[in-house]
Amino acid sequence: MTYSQGWWFSYRMISLSRLQLLGPIVLCTAIVCAEAAAWALSFFPTVQVLWYINVRLFGLFQHGYYPFNKYIDLPGAPLFEVILILLLSGVGYYFNKRMLLAIGSNLSFVYTAVLVYSTLNFSYGSAPIRIFTINPQLNLYLATAIFAAASISMMASHLIYIQQFFSNSSSSELRRRKSVG
């Protein structure tokens, strides 16, 4: 039994597959909280705390809604998109389908990257160089946490496929050597 076929390799694969769920779960939780804050604000528009939460804490999602709204014009569309990502990841994890889990993990990264990118305001000066200015109203801690979780999730999905590639190539090399020798 080689090192790549031992219990340690299977343990690492299981922990990496759990780590792939981190990005979709964090993204879905943040969007559900943002939608809940917007929903609560629609019922209680005079509450100052709800305005603070909706504008300051979840302003990231308000700015990120517009790029997605161009293509899908549904109320609550980001919630449906993220639930689809979470559903893909959950089904992939539960039924041990690595490809579905990897697709969900990578889609959460793409969604988060578009979300963070859409919050940047492009201002062009006299020089042809783009200058990025970040809106000070947004909570960048939330954006950083979501982007970090999605990045870790995406890297875990890629590591699983890299490990599988090298373990298959090394085991096929061993089989070839045994058949020749």
| pTM flag (> 0.75) | yes
Residue 142 resides in a domain: yes
The pLDDT, as a whole number, for residue 14 is 60
Residue 109 resides in a domain: yes
Domain holding 97, by residue range, is 20-167
Residue 180 resides in a domain: no
Residues 124-149 as b or e (16 or more Cβ within 10 Å = b): eeeeeeeeeeeeeebeeebbeebbeb
Residue 1 resides in a domain: no
The pLDDT, as a whole number, for residue 40 is 94
Reported confidence tier of residue 60, pLDDT bands at 50, 70, 90: confident
Residue 5 resides in a domain: no
pLDDT, averaged across the chain: 78
pLDDT digits (tens, 9 = 90+) for 97-113: 989 999 999 999 999 99
Query: Residues 6 or more apart from 97 whose CB is under 8 A from it?
Result: 91
Residue 181 resides in a domain: no
Reported confidence tier of residue 123, pLDDT bands at 50, 70, 90: very low
Residue 126 resides in a domain: yes
